[in-house]
Structure 1
């Protein structure tokens, strides 16, 4: 394995100048793999240099007492809709600390809440003020048996105390693993209004490279009809499922972020024992994950590279790779607004295993130029899952520990 170094600096929340040697803030990316697992080959991501400025952050708790809050949707009236993995919605009265938490009744009798599956990502429709609609990504069972992962469109009642399904499914047929493993599933609105959906490969070897499957992909969907969005790269395919695909060759996409001002799409993707990836999407691109090695091996061989440039020389290299240890990166969103100063335009990425928030600056070429971790969000709230930018420019992050989870608000101090 080619060895490289990932430099990390802890950003403080006090006004303190950081003076240190580069050798004091680097971490070897080639730490030991799990027992019996070989190290994959390099995936082509560049070494990321250290960043030395020290922006101030203020972190406050908006709400607590939640269980695996998976995603957040901001409503026009200032309230916040939250999905919880076990199959519950709650509504927060606002985005300030101490918000009231109100349950929202909804029928989840068909939900498979197991492992990594359940009620997952959520997106509020742009016309919510009129339609009161939002769409979720969730596992689905029939007669107790797992059937698929699907996008479901809901309508919130006028009193906001209940929600009913109005399109079930909006899109169906995403593969599901009965264990819930590698379920994805993050929906985000693109700059042109299309619905982008990051999906997981359900830990099955052939799915990521299979253009007949919606797993291990980023889909691009018409939010109203559930059909392919205009301009999709496989729009002329005979298979209706393939027409929905924007990119393929992914392992488990759990973060989708749209860069303000450019409309570029970046995703956060789980690696196996090495190389979580941040990828910049290119229509029709293959991102090189293939644990079936072109169908030459059975099962799910996780020793292959995340981006296999040997088997797929035209695969799109990652713009950032974690090396070892993996962080299990999850939700992602761009920080935007002049109030953020030097952090304006930074990509914020949550880490589950790493229990931290990664702040990534991008270079002129769109690749990650530097990575930092604010001290206030470095193993202080446990596993972090959702990251969304609020309507006032504040950043919102959820923890995902299972008990007494929180919604955090992050502002420049």
Structure 2
């Protein structure tokens, strides 16, 4: 049934209705004056980007490599990642550089778990300093691994995780799967003012929001306290969510714990089972975009799409409601699958392709 529905083709405006109903945002004209520079190529499933103060960048590759990009030249980082398990959607994933510009934290699958590990960078060599968080659940197939860390303006670290396609994880607050975590970037413990900070369970103390399926990125709207996430739906209903501290986002393939089977026919936001769950501010509806990382660029919320092979630009009102969506022609099925999206200090937007061979690091300017 869902496969039939997913086969229907609708324009972006028609498939942008939030799950709570209401008026669909309009399809906006694409931005003009967009310039795309191919900064570097030759990557394999380039997963995330981190900026260094000298203008160079670190790029992670899912097969378990970190590359240093400086002036268009790509140098492999000397780093021990022999414990990375690369399978399916799993492997080396997200990256975030610490404020000291010397350390970075990456997220990856091992044979036992998904974990956050911090390294210190010296030149093109990285040395491990800390297992920041271990024990995040991992599917042997790599399915729904998440996992992307991002530093918040208040200095905490937000971590987007996947539910690893296990039915009970999203609603189980003792599991780190299917969550957005908020942790201390030095200790890996839950931030002291988290919603469940008084819990006896260390995992629950790390949780900021729960009831997610496979969160691909978290971003903070400049000048506000608004936090947005991008999340994969099953074969429909990819979601953009406005995160609220301690909130449930309503994904429950266990149907209230009544079954162990991973039932993907449940709603992405099950408002009947969870009346207080937070509905998405945007849903792809019957399309499968497989939206990925989110970044704010030129005042808009920019989100990459894997299956959709495009960049989506969301115009938001002051409350965070989506007003319209535009798709730049220059990135609409021109480069294939788009994954990473990070805004540089100079205001340009960097994105990566994720096609598996000769993937690109792209720099976007203009587009206003």
- Worse-matched range after superposition: 284-293 or 361-370: 361-370
For 2:108, the equivalent position in structure 1 comes to 138
Residue 116 of structure 1: CA displacement?
A: 0.7
Equivalent of 2:291 in 329, 338, 356 = 329
Tell whether the 8 Å contact from 1:43 to 1:305 is kept in structure 2 after alignment.
no
TM-score (norm 1): 0.84
Equivalent positions of 1:6-405 (< 5 A) are: 7-8=11-12, 43-44=19-20, 46=22, 47-52=24-29, 54-94=31-71, 99-128=72-101, 132-140=102-110, 146-157=111-122, 160-167=123-130, 169-335=131-297, 344-405=298-359
Q: Distance in 2 between matches of 1:101 and 1:28?
A: 39
Q: Distance in 1 between matches of 2:70 and 2:238?
A: 35
Tell whether the 8 Å contact from 2:199 to 2:205 is kept in structure 1 after alignment.
yes
1:107-165 Cα distance to aligned partner (Å, 9 max, x none): 1111111111111000000112xxx100011112xxxxx211000000112xx221111
- Describe the SS at the equivalent of 1:407: strand
Residue 267 of structure 1: CA displacement?
A: 0.4
Q: Distance in 2 between matches of 1:345 and 1:173?
A: 37
1:75-117 Cα distance to aligned partner (Å, 9 max, x none): 01111011100010110104xxxx0111111111111111111
Tell whether the 8 Å contact from 1:133 to 1:153 is kept in structure 2 after alignment.
yes
Tell whether the 8 Å contact from 1:69 to 1:405 is kept in structure 2 after alignment.
yes
Runs of at least 5 residues in structure 2 that lack an aligned partner in the other structure: none
Residue 296 of structure 1: CA displacement?
A: 1.6
Q: Distance in 2 between matches of 1:374 and 1:161?
A: 35
Change over 3 Å in CA distance of 1:208–1:105 after alignment to 2? same
Q: Distance in 1 between matches of 2:115 and 2:60?
A: 15
Change over 3 Å in CA distance of 1:29–1:260 after alignment to 2? closer
Flag the structure with larger Rg.
Answer: 1
- Describe the SS at the equivalent of 1:92: strand
Tell whether the 8 Å contact from 2:15 to 2:283 is kept in structure 1 after alignment.
no
Cα RMSD between the aligned structures?
2.0
Q: Which runs of 4+ in 1 moved over 6 A?
A: none
1:185-213 Cα distance to aligned partner (Å, 9 max, x none): 01111110100000000001010000000
Change over 3 Å in CA distance of 1:27–1:318 after alignment to 2? closer
Q: Distance in 2 between matches of 1:261 and 1:220?
A: 20
For 1:340, the equivalent position in structure 2 comes to none
Equivalent pairs, count: 362
Runs of at least 5 residues in structure 1 that lack an aligned partner in the other structure: 9-25, 31-41, 141-145, 336-343
Q: Distance in 1 between matches of 2:31 and 2:357?
A: 32
For 1:12, the equivalent position in structure 2 comes to none
Q: Distance in 2 between matches of 1:263 and 1:108?
A: 36
1:36-56 Cα distance to aligned partner (Å, 9 max, x none): xxxxxx832542222236432
Q: Distance in 2 between matches of 1:348 and 1:6?
A: 21
- Describe the SS at the equivalent of 2:212: coil
For 1:409, the equivalent position in structure 2 comes to 363
Q: Distance in 2 between matches of 1:83 and 1:29?
A: 31
Change over 3 Å in CA distance of 1:29–1:57 after alignment to 2? closer
Q: Distance in 2 between matches of 1:119 and 1:405?
A: 15
